[in-house]
C-alpha cells in the first residue's frame, strides 16, 4: 500500500510535466535513469529493466493491439513496483528503491502519452537500448525479448543487435557461467522474429503500413502518393530509400483490383516486363512481389500486398518544376525533350506502351539534371497494333484513346502535350477538345525555334500514322545535340 502511495505523486508529476514541458520531462527521465544507475550499481538491473519495458510499450501502442498492451503494461509496472519495494523493505537504503520505483513508474506512464503523437521519437532512444540490453543479467531474462522487439520496431541496424548480444557473450566468457548466453540468444531471436512478422499495424491501407515492414525486408517510412489503382510508399532498407508501388485491393469505386486474380495476373505480367526495361531515363525497377495464390480477404492482402520496388527520385516531378517556374527555357526544354525521347524509345523497344505520360510522371534525380519516365502502372503489353486502356489521364490522352483504342503512337502524342506545356505553360489538348487546330508553340513563346514548332505539331497530329515514332524522335534529337 505504501509503495502505491509513492506512485501517485510520480504519475501526477509526469502528467503535469507533459502538460507544461512536453519532452523536457522525457529528457529528465533519461538523465535520472543514467544517474541512479551510476550512483547505485546494485540497482542497475532494475533501472535498465524499467527503461526497456517503457520503450517497448511506447512503441507497441502504435500496434493494432494498443489498448490491451497499454493496460497490461500499466498493471505489470504497478505489480513490479509493489514486489520490488516489498522485497527491498528490510534492506539498507530502502527509501532509494521507493523513490526509484515511483519515478520510473510515473515517467514510464508519461512516456506512453508523450510518444503517442511522435512515433519516430522512439527511434531516438536506440542508444539507450544498447546498454540496457548489454547490462541485463540472467535475473532479467524477460527484458531480452522486449529489447529485441523494440530494436526491430524502431528500425535498428543489425549492428546494434550484434553489439548487445556480444556484450552478453562477453559476460559468459569472463564469468565462466554459461547462463549469460541465454539473454543474447533471446535478444537476437526476438529481433529476427519481430522484423519478419510486423507487416502492418492497422487493417486500413495505406496508413496501416506506415512504420511497419513490407515483405519483411523494407521499413515503410512515409506515404508518397495515392493513385486510382495503387499506393506509393517510401521504404528503406539498410539506409537506402526506395519507392514501393502497391496495387490497391479495390479502386475508388469498390471494384476489385488485387482482390481479382485476373487483374493480379495482368499486373504481374506488366511489372515483370517493366523489370526488363533498362534505361538511364526510365525509373529503375528492382523487384516485383506477387502472392502464389489470390487473396482470401483484406487481412491476407495487408500482410503480403503485391508490389514493385522502384528507384526513389529525390528531385520531384516536372509538375513541381512547372508550378514554380511556369515554363522552361529553350535549352532546358530541348535537353529534357532529348532525355524523355530516349526513355520512351527504350520503353517502346520492349513493345510496351506507357499510356500515362504527363508532368506528374516525369521525375528528376536530386540535382534535377537527369529526367526519367516513371509510373508504369497502367502500361499494357502490346500484342498487336492497338491496346485498350481505361486508366489514361484525359488531359494528356491522344484522340484515339477516346475511341477505345491506344497504341505506341499515343505515347508520342502525350509526350508532345508535355513538351508543349513545358515551353508555353498551356496544355494543347484544350484546342483539340474544342475542335480547334493546335497553334505552334511559338505563338505563345516567341523564343521557340521553327524546327521545334514543326516537330511538336507532328507529334500532336490527330492521325496516329502521321506522328513520328519514339525511335525517330530519339535519333533526331541525339543528332541535333551531337550525341
pLDDT recorded at residue 12: 45
pLDDT recorded at residue 155: 59
Please give the grid coordinates belonging to residue 244: 514501393
Which residues, given as ranges, of the chain have pLDDT below 70?
1-147, 149-157, 164, 167-183, 193-204, 377-392, 482-483
* CATH topology assigned to domain 316-482: Transferase(Phosphotransferase); domain 1 (1.10.510)
Helices 94-114 and 66-87, axial angle in degrees (round to 10): 170
- Structural contact between residues 76 and 99, judged by C-beta atoms closer than 8 angstroms: no
pLDDT recorded at residue 423: 95
Picking from 312, 301, 292, the residue whose alpha carbon sits closest to that of residue 246 is: 301
Domain boundaries, the chain: 40-199, 204-312, 316-482
User: Quick check: bond before 211 cis, omega within 30?
Assistant: no
pLDDT recorded at residue 359: 93
* CATH topology assigned to domain 204-312: Phosphorylase Kinase; domain 1 (3.30.200)
Picking from 66, 158, 74, the residue whose alpha carbon sits closest to that of residue 119 is: 66
- Structural contact between residues 56 and 146, judged by C-beta atoms closer than 8 angstroms: yes
pLDDT recorded at residue 181: 64
pLDDT recorded at residue 355: 85
pTM of the model: 0.60
Q: Where are the alpha helices (DSSP H) in 329-403?
A: 330-348
Amino acid at each position: 500500500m505504501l509503495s502505491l502511495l509513492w506512485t501517485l505523486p510520480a504519475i501526477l508529476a509526469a502528467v503535469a510535466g507533459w502538460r507544461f514541458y512536453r519532452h523536457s520531462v522525457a529528457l529528465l527521465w533519461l538523465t535520472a535513469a543514467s544517474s541512479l544507475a551510476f550512483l547505485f550499481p546494485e540497482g542497475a538491473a532494475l533501472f535498465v529493466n524499467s527503461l526497456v519495458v517503457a520503450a517497448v510499450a511506447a512503441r507497441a501502442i502504435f500496434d493494432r493491439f494498443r489498448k490491451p498492451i497499454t493496460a497490461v503494461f500499466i498493471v505489470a509496472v504497478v505489480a513490479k513496483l509493489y514486489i520490488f519495494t516489498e522485497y527491498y523493505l528490510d534492506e539498507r537504503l530502502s527509501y532509494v528503491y521507493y523513490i526509484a520505483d515511483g519515478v520510473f513508474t510515473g515517467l514510464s506512464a508519461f512516456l506512453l502519452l508523450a510518444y503517442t503523437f511522435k512515433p519516430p521519437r522512439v527511434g531516438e532512444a536506440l542508444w539507450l537500448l544498447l546498454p540496457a540490453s548489454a547490462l541485463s543479467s540472467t535475473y532479467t531474462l524477460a527484458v531480452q525479448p522486449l529489447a529485441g522487439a523494440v530494436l526491430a520496431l524502431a528500425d535498428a541496424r543489425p549492428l546494434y543487435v550484434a553489439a548487445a548480444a556480444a556484450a552478453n557473450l562477453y559476460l559468459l566468457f569472463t564469468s565462466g557461467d554459461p547462463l549469460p548466453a541465454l539473454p543474447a540468444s533471446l535478444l537476437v531471436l526476438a529481433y529476427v522474429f519481430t522484423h519478419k512478422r510486423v507487416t502492418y499495424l492497422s487493417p486500413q491501407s495505406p496508413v496501416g503500413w506506415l512504420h511497419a515492414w513490407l515483405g519483411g525486408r523494407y521499413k515503410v517510412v512515409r506515404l508518397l502518393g495515392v493513385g486510382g489503382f495503387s499506393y506509393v510508399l517510401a521504404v528503406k532498407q539498410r539506409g537506402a530509400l526506395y519507392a514501393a508501388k502497391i496495387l490497391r485491393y479495390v479502386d475508388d469505386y469498390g471494384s476489385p483490383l488485387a482482390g481479382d486474380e485476373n487483374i493480379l495476373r495482368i499486373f504481374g505480367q506488366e511489372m515483370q516486363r517493366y523489370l526488363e526495361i533498362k534505361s538511364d531515363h526510365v525509373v529503375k525497377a528492382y523487384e516485383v512481389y506477387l502472392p502464389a495464390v489470390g487473396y482470401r480477404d483484406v487481412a491476407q492482402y495487408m500482410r503480403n500486398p503485391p508490389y514493385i520496388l522502384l528507384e526513389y527520385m529525390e528531385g520531384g516531378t516536372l509538375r513541381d518544376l512547372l508550378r514554380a517556374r511556369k515554363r522552361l527555357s529553350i535549352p532546358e526544354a530541348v535537353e529534357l525533350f532529348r532525355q524523355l525521347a530516349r526513355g520512351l524509345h527504350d520503353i517502346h523497344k520492349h513493345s510496351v506502351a506507357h499510356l500515362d505520360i504527363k508532368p506528374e510522371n516525369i521525375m528528376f534525380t536530386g540535382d534535377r539534371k537527369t529526367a526519367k519516365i516513371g509510373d508504369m502502372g497502367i502500361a499494357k503489353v502490346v500484342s498487336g497494333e492497338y491496346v485498350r486502356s481505361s486508366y489514361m489521364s484525359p488531359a494528356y490522352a491522344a484522340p484515339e484513346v477516346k475511341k477505345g483504342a491506344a497504341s505506341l503512337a499515343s505515347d508520342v502524342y502525350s509526350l508532345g502535350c508535355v513538351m508543349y506545356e513545358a515551353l508555353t505553360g498551356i496544355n494543347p489538348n484544350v484546342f483539340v477538345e474544342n475542335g480547334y487546330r493546335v497553334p505552334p508553340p511559338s505563338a505563345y513563346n516567341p523564343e521557340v525555334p521553327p524546327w521545334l514548332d514543326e516537330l511538336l505539331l507532328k507529334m500532336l497530329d490527330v492521325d496516329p500514322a502521321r506522328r513520328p515514332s519514339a525511335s525517330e524522335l530519339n535519333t533526331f534529337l541525339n543528332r541535333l545535340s551531337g550525341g
